[in-house]
Structure 1
Amino acid sequence: MSRKRMPGESRKNSILQAARRVFSQRGFEAAKTLDIARAAGVSEALVYRHFPSKLALYRAVLRALIREQDEMNARLGVQNQTCQGLVTALKAYFTFLITPDPAEKEAQQNFRLLLASLAGDGNYALLIYRRAQRIIGPTIQAALLDGRAKGDIQGESLAFENTSMFIEHVGIMMSAVSALPSGGTLYAEQGDALVRQAVWFCCRGIGMTDQAIATYFQS
């Protein structure tokens, strides 16, 4: 079976995307360059022409991952260390997951790769989650403390590390469900209405008052 010829940079990007899928599913040790080549639709020799070893390819995947994670945090992360900042970030996060821009299909797939990793050896997911906690953890902690001091958050305190992970769990599953052929029909609402309910669900879990949520969601 003949393969379509692609420009050099396109082939390299195709190999990187295929490698990310294979590494996330099988881990570094179990992943084979032949499997990556097949997933990319190229020969194994061509993989080695662009990347001298499996380790070099893995490091290239991690560099791309780190760059994309930083870009995502700049766009969807908590920019204001208050409850208003939390609500604004959650609104942007769930909008991105539930009503995606077709141009960002690749970024959407990154969330589902986390599920593939968790079903495999988990190393890919652990790297993402641990790095995310180091980057955004202090900001979320500051926002939660500020909200409690102002009375926007009440009730039992939750560990800030757990807070961010619980929200991530909701988001990643909603992303996976929304990607199903009939995913939207599994929820009672769709679009903006579903985003609103997801934000309220998470904010109530944090202990944020209904008044604070309503105020900041509209701002």
Structure 2
Amino acid sequence: MPANERRAAIVTAARKVFSRDGYEGAKTSQIAQEAGVSEALVYRHFPSKLALYRAVLRQLFIEQDENWQQLGFHQNGAEGLVAAIHSFFVLAAQGDLTPESLDRYRLTLASLSGDGSYASLIYRRSQRRNAKAIAQEHHAARLAGDITGEPLEPSTTAMFIEHIGTMMGAIVALPEASRPYGESGEDLARHATWFCCRGIGLSDAAIKRCLGGDRKT
């Protein structure tokens, strides 16, 4: 196997082990076993576990940026907010998550149950990158009369939505009999969208206009 492919295989294995055991609990011997190489070869490519962890983080940052390009705001005001929230939940509600998507959810949960360093880093990075756009869409929706009631901090509500999506993605990856939801797929994504859009102050009329359809809510 060429060196670049072997290095990529080690990073993929490390990502899986870190998502399962967290940074502190992961062992380079486990990563080597997962990658099907010797521990000495792991250290030939990465001088330390921290260097390997940083390589995993760089990969995750690239995916985070790609996801934002796909799921971010492509419309203005209420339309942009509803579309972005719904797209996020559609991705989270899929029962057939890719291994990469599942690892991202598990990495976040493993971090939150440990020292929190990865989760804190990924959340702060998301806020720095997206806070301005989120605030602009909230402001536009309020000016249009689609958001009413007590003004809420957009960055805080964005994190609430992120938390719901993270938990949803992790839960739907469980065996079907272990999932506590009474629905799945598009129905689950749709109802999560209604729940969060109501939470940020969007009127039912605005949500229905932007989300479309006549399903029971």
**Is the structural similarity TM-score above 0.5?**
yes
| Correspondent of 2:62 among 67, 81, 99 | 67
| Correspondent of 1:114 among 89, 104, 108 | 108
| Correspondent of 1:18 among 13, 16, 20 | 13
Verify: 1:193 aligned to 2:164, yes or no. no
TM-score (norm 2): 0.87
Deviations 1:110-161 (A, max 9, x none): 1222111111111111111000011111111111111111110011111112
1:74-153 alignment runs, 5 A limit: 74-99=69-94, 104-153=98-147
| Correspondent of 1:46 among 38, 41, 51 | 41
| Correspondent of 1:37 among 25, 32, 36 | 32
Give the CA RMSD over aligned residues: 2.3
Partner of 1:3: none
The alpha-carbon distance between structure 1 residues 56 and 110, as it changes in their structure 2 partners (threshold 3 A), is same
Q: Structure 2 unaligned runs (5+)?
A: none
Partner of 2:159: 165
TM-score (norm 1): 0.86
3-state SS in 2 of match to 1:153 = coil
3-state SS in 2 of match to 1:186 = coil
Q: For the residues of structure 1 that align with 2:120 and 2:25, how far apart are their CA atoms?
A: 17
Q: For the residues of structure 2 that align with 1:185 and 1:69, how far apart are their CA atoms?
A: 26
Q: For the residues of structure 2 that align with 1:54 and 1:68, how far apart are their CA atoms?
A: 21
3-state SS in 2 of match to 1:112 = helix
Deviations 1:13-65 (A, max 9, x none): 232123234445433x6654234323434321110122233343233222212
Aligned 8 A contact 1:37 1:44 in 2: yes
Identical aligned residues as a percent: 52
Q: For the residues of structure 1 that align with 2:159 and 2:100, how far apart are their CA atoms?
A: 22
Q: For the residues of structure 2 that align with 1:65 and 1:193, how far apart are their CA atoms?
A: 29
Q: For the residues of structure 2 that align with 1:73 and 1:14, how far apart are their CA atoms?
A: 25
Report deviation, 1:186.
2.2
Q: For the residues of structure 2 that align with 1:38 and 1:140, how far apart are their CA atoms?
A: 43
